[in-house]
């Protein structure tokens, strides 16, 4: 809020970051009987590695909370021209269309979602702020009953 966040501008190879982050949450996924898969991971960005990991952990935490046992979560990154597109996709119940426009608002929680004692409606708003602070965009789509797909688009690192 105070606009005092100082971000590093380091070269962040996404294959390494995604592999480390996947490894970090792997045990939780196994304990919940959810398959966590690292898809193709390519590209690099100039950014703050710690804050990018924080964004991924927020997204993976949400995916783990809303994906039932036997479900899947996929994480990956692809280079698309001068951008890198990072995705987190899950096979959970998804987000009803009328709530999609609000998921990045502070304290917003989709009504009727299972309550597990976690969450305060801040995760996605924090993720959006951190992505935008690094010149990126974050979007969420959720076809009815087919899970949730979060996409982060960041400028690719210049060679």
pLDDT score of 116 more than 70: no
Dihedral in degrees, nearest 10, Cα atoms 40, 41, 42, 43: 150
- Where do the H-state alpha helices sit in 68-147? 97-100, 123-133
Which pLDDT belongs to residue 72?
A: 97
CB within 8 A of 155, min separation 6: which ones?
Answer: 45, 46, 82, 83, 84, 135, 136
Q: What is the average per-residue pLDDT within 116-121?
A: 57
Distance CA 25, CA 142 (A): 23
Share of the chain above pLDDT 70, in %: 87
Chain segment 38-93, per-residue pLDDT in tens: 999 999 999 999 999 999 999 999 999 989 999 999 999 999 999 999 999 999 98
DSSP 34: -
Q: Which of 31, 19, 18 is nearest to 152 (CA)?
A: 18
Residue with the larger pLDDT of the pair 17 and 117: 17
Residue with the larger pLDDT of the pair 94 and 53: 53
DSSP H or E stretch at residue 153 = strand 148-155
DSSP H or E stretch at residue 68 = none
For the chain, the residue count is 159
Q: What is the average per-residue pLDDT within 112-125?
A: 64
pLDDT score of 15 more than 70: yes
Of the pLDDT bands very low, low, confident and very high (cuts 50, 70, 90), residue 139 is very high
Q: Are 104 and 128 in contact (CB under 8 A)?
A: yes
Chain segment 62-76, per-residue pLDDT in tens: 999 989 999 999 999
Which pLDDT belongs to residue 144?
A: 73
Return the SS3 of 116. Answer: coil
pLDDT score of 23 more than 70: yes
């Amino acid at each position: 809020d105070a606009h005092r966040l100082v971000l590093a501008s380091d070269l962040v190879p996404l294959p390494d970051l995604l592999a480390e982050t996947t490894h970090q949450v792997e045990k939780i996924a196994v304990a919940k009987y959810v398959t966590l898969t690292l898809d193709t991971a390519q590209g690099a960005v100039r950014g703050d590695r710690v804050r990018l990991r924080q964004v991924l952990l927020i997204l993976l935490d949400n995916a783990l909370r809303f994906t039932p046992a036997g479900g899947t979560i996929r994480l990956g990154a692809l280079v698309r021209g001068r951008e890198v597109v990072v995705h987190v996709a899950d096979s959970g119940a998804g987000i009803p269309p009328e709530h999609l426009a609000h998921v990045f608002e502070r304290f917003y929680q989709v009504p009727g979602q299972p309550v597990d004692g976690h969450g305060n409606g801040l995760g996605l708003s924090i993720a959006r702020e951190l992505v935008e602070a690094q010149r990126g965009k974050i979007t969420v789509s959720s076809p009815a009953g087919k899970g949730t797909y979060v996409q982060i688009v960041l400028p690719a690192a210049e060679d």
